Amino acid sequence: MYIVTEDRSSALIDHELAFRAVTEAFVAAATPGAALFPVVIGHGSDADDQFTLKSGASGRFAGVKIGTYFPSNDARGLPRHGTTILLFDQESGRIGAAVEASQVNAYRTAAADAVATHALARAESSVLTVFGTGHQALYECLAVARIRPITRINVVGRDRTRADALRRRLDEHLDGVETRATAPETGCASADVIVTVTTARAPLFEADWVGPGTHVSAMGCDSPGKQELPPALCDRAALFCDLPSQSLRIGEFQHFGGEPEQVTAIGSVLARRAPGRTAADRITVFDSSGIALQDLYVAEALLARARVTDPDDATPADPVGE
């Protein structure tokens, strides 16, 4: 079995690798032959400590992503979030590769945002507003700034201290980009791109605050009851997501009252089988509830990079079963 440790995967990952792998994953997810199975949401001995299992298969590989959220880790000085990706040897059913991917998961999630923004946002989009001030918000902003000419980032957060801390981190990474702590209405009104990356269970803003032509990426809704966007926004927007069946069940569009056919898989847009943005003044919304193929394609890309950089560590037998 090929094992990539957390330290190694953190050294191997970058935004470009994640963007390419997630693009492939979205196209594969919208292609006949790929399979994505229902998400399992569970908890540890302490009910506040949660985990999810996301699994899938394509013609190339099959596997599972295990994500953990243990707030009890705060008392231990450990990160709350953890991720491990397992790729099966499809001939034997044994684990062919295990990739510890907690840091990788931040890039993988942000890449979904970047891929959708690249496909749907107006090319000249220069003002980004981010709702949320946690660890993931930094990666979302950096990923979007790679694929659009962002000159200003508005940070919307409940805690001004945390908002200013995020601004300082952004200033360390992005030259020539102005950052501001902004009120929700002001942030929406001035934005070309809005990204929500929170654990909210109620809308973060009003639908009529979003101007024509804005692209919105909702990144935080991945279980029943979570919600970041006002449902009325869906009535004004073209709707896209990573996997329609999952988005309508546990993603942002669980709160959407329209017809399922109104929600388009982003992979179909990337494969040019469905239209994306159809007019400059059209609002577009992308919901990311997270799919296993994102993790499997990123893991495969990391394994390929690891074999190139550390050939002596490669397992003699093919660990992925390709």
Counting every residue written for the chain, the total comes to 322
**CA distances (Å), origin 224, targets 25, 118, 127, 204, 216:** 24, 28, 31, 17, 20
Antiparallel, parallel or unpaired: β 283-287 and 215-218 = parallel
* Residue reference for tokens 């957060």: 157
Grouping H, G, I as helix, E, B as strand and the rest as coil, residue 228 is: coil
CA distance 56 to 165: 37
CA distance 318 to 222: 33
Antiparallel, parallel or unpaired: β 81-88 and 62-69 = antiparallel
Catalytic residue of the set 54, 65, 226, 277 = 65
* Residue reference for tokens 């996301």: 54
- Record the tokens describing residue 73, joined without a space: 């880790």
Helix or strand (DSSP H, E) at 31: none
- Record the tokens describing residue 96, joined without a space: 């062919």
8 A C-beta contact, residue 199 and residue 223: no
Q: Where are the beta strands (DSSP E) in the chain?
A: 2-4, 35-36, 40-43, 50-57, 62-69, 81-88, 95-100, 127-131, 152-156, 178-181, 193-196, 215-218, 237-241, 263-265, 283-287
Helix or strand (DSSP H, E) at 277: none
- Record the tokens describing residue 143, joined without a space: 């990923």
Give which of 244, 267, 132 is closest to 194, Cα–Cα: 132
Residue 54 among the catalytic residues: no
Residues belonging to the active site:
65
